[in-house]
Structure 1
């Protein structure tokens, strides 16, 4: 009987020690939180969006880590960008999310999608492939890296500022 109890205890201990959090999934609370972050961004609900970030979060959108922004800078940049677009959103049908737990035990959400926005100055619609990865600690984003190519928008902003848009570009946004 003692042997049977010892074996049973050993099995329980073995199972308990081997239970690990999933290292990869496409369904998690963190993914749902990140979907809400992007929805708040689309709705320009800045206070709701930054509520998902830790107070000390660092955001690196198209910059190296040493040039990352704090929440105040991040929020100001988003508000400034939003003022230039009449619409913007991520195309739901072209959005993918995954959660990974890396070898260090860090939880990261990866997002791939298409950002679509209408620039007010020329009424042109831009579609930009986007990748964002965000690290979560205790349900909050502590750092985020975003990568996308804004060169076409930047070029058109510069043209608009110096009045180089052709009459056709001004009328059609093309």
Structure 2
């Protein structure tokens, strides 16, 4: 009888231990909901930093030159001058949350961003990957990766055309 009770106790402990740390990957979590809110805020030009930790660091297309949450919002505000419209497409968004072997919680998302340039009305679409680390429900690190080449080249072309027109007028 004693062996049976000990076996049930060991089994109960094993089940409890497995349940506490069983979620290593999911597509539905409070952290994912936070990232979706961050994306919705960006789309509506609501530059709220409340979901970031005070010491958060954001890196866009770099592993250097970290920005604070406030600097990240300033970065987005300053970019607005280039666009008649911009935002993430609502379809084909993919989100996942993973807990690493070291116990870090990360949310990854793959999105399609698009804009219409203010200067010439050209529409551009860019795939974007974001990965965000969470601690105690707050974003502590954010990495964003995309290829800005088409936008940069188009803005350079617009600037060169404006300069040529200016030079023609001064002749």
Q: So what's the TM-score if we normalise by structure 1? A: 0.87
Q: Output the CA distance in 2 between the equivalents of 1:37 and 1:82.
A: 17
Aligned residues: 163
Cα RMSD, aligned residues only: 1.7
Quote the residue 2:167 is aligned against.
none
- 1:8-157 to structure 2, matched below 5 A, reads 8-19=8-19, 20-47=21-48, 50-64=49-63, 66-157=64-155
Secondary structure of the equivalent of 1:27? coil
- Give the distance between the partners of 2:84 and 2:53, measured in 1 at CA: 29
1:159 & 1:98 partners in 2: Cα distance?
38
Superposed displacement of residue 60, structure 1: 0.6
| CA apart distance, 1:7 | 2.0
SS in 2 for 1:33: helix
Contact 1:44 1:82 in 2 (8 A): no
- Residue 91 of structure 2: SS of its match in structure 1? helix
| 1:72 Cα deviation from its structure 2 partner | 2.4
Q: 1:165 to 1:91 in 2, by over 3 A?
A: farther
CA distance in structure 2 between the partners assigned to 1:124 and 1:13 by the alignment: 61
Structure 1 gaps, min length 5: 167-174
What CA distance in whole angstroms lies between the structure 2 residues aligned with 1:94 and 1:141? 23
Q: Is the 8 A contact 1:23 1:102 kept in 2?
A: yes
Shift of 1:14: 1.4
Deviation (angstroms), 1:110: 0.6
1:123 counterpart SS class: coil
Matched residue SS, 1:147:
strand
Q: Deviations over 1:108-140 (max 9, x none)?
A: 111111101111111111100111110111111
- Cα distance in 1 for partners of 2:163, 2:152 equals 13
**Whole-Å Cα distance in 1 between the matches of residues 80 and 22 of structure 2?**
38
